[in-house]
Structure 1
Amino acid sequence: MSEAITRERREGQALPPIPERAHLGMTVWTLLRWTMAQTGAMMPLFIVVQAAIAGAVVVGFGLLVPDIDAPTAELLSTGAPTILILVIGLVLCPWGVAGARTSGTLTYQRALPVPRPLLLVADLVVWLVIALPSIPVTVLVARLRYGIEYSIDWPLLVGAFVLATIMAVSVGYATAMLLSPMMSQLVSQVMVFFVMLFSPVTFPKEQLPEWFQAVHSVLPFQAAADLLRAGLLSDRFEPSGQGLVVLIVWCLLGLIISVRAVIRRG
């Protein structure tokens, strides 16, 4: 009898209300604030690094070329933003992800009751903000050094910047998630070394052997540089449809691999 009475009392008790799930916008905004608080605090240092790299590419590389002419100066000046974006995506982003993995921050974030792909979305937005100064910094340095007059195609420049940054960050993010922290940093350093010295970003592709030109026709580095160059100097360079397709394909590839790495267990 007592058990029946106890069961009736338990059934009669009202269950505590289930808290409402935060809507998607609030979740994304919270993750953005969290990621910006972690990474965005380094923004002044990132801007200094970008200015130093811009000076090294625009001015330092120019010192290696005796009696630099206008076309060479334009290639250096318009290729420097691509190098900055690639450094941010392929070096700084893996460095940040490796640090989050080592400290346990990423493990804690993946355990939160939020869709895991939103972690990648928050990182992409923050790194896009961090990469924003890359173009004005290089434009300013080039104007002071060579007096280049830019003819900017704003829609093309903005689109190329977003695509190039997403490509670089997603590839760097995937590298940092798939490899060990130390190995991912080593691979990112090798990739940037390859971009700065062996990719037709700051020099004409005709200086490379034909087989190497064919390799770069399917890699995203030359494609990103050509689109950004066409956006900065629209009266002298035209965007390439093939380059746009290559950049979009690499963006999708990097995003797919990054999402799979974020949502996998373990």
Structure 2
Amino acid sequence: MPGGRGARGLPGGGRGSRARVPAQPGAVDAGRDADAGRERGARAAGAARGEHTHGEPAPPRPAVQRSSVRGQILDALRTALVTGELRPGEVYSAPVLAERFGVSATPVREAMQQLTLEGAVEVVPNRGFRVVERGARELAELAEVRALIEVPVMLRLARTVPAERWAELRPLAEATVRAASSGCRATYAECDRAFHRAVLSLSGNAQLVRIAEDLHRRAQWPLVGGGPGAARARAAELVADAHEHTALLDALIAGDLDVVRALVGEHFAGAC
């Protein structure tokens, strides 16, 4: 980064801009007006408090309980990482991001600290948090680790889980295809994790599911660089990846272990 660039808010937004982080289900409700937010804050201790730029109207207050603010901000920031709205190498200030969300800086810092633990960002003293730059080698390493964990489990489940249980996952597999076709990487990322989570949950091992999902989430952050051509290539990869879900499910329902083995190996070899 150039030495003179300070910490930033979300890409493309000046001080007066609203947050461009994609909205999440149940996320901070930007549609509530400031007066209603103040009334709620007076009635309920711990309601989230907003901040605003001097000389500008106060931003809308979030219509959520304070205990949920951190989780909602974390979800929104994770989505911004997947879509590339939080750009690798850029530094983002918690107070500036907080202005965009209309909350205090505390839940933003807490969410960023969680992302630091996950390896998505790193602390830059007195400035904020820098989005980690990742390359193809890291992505390949994550795919290898995921394969070591998930492939043996899927093959074991293929021999033990009845066809009707696999059939119950059909809506999740089809959802990944629709999400990939929509071109929304954030939506696809969520649907992709949901399908893999449902498959691994059949093992009954909650720790396995938790660890695998953490690795999966890390594998979904975009690589550094790449122009429109690279973006189109990644979109095509998502569609191919989604169709592997439905093909795998078909093989699991049919009990065709040879096809399952081949598809699982191919799926993780090209994991994105």
Larger helix fraction of residues = 1
TM-score, scaled relative to structure 2: 0.24
- Bigger relative contact order, structure 1 or 2 (CA pairs below 8 A, ≥6 apart): 1
TM-score, scaled relative to structure 1: 0.25
Larger-gyration structure (1/2): 1
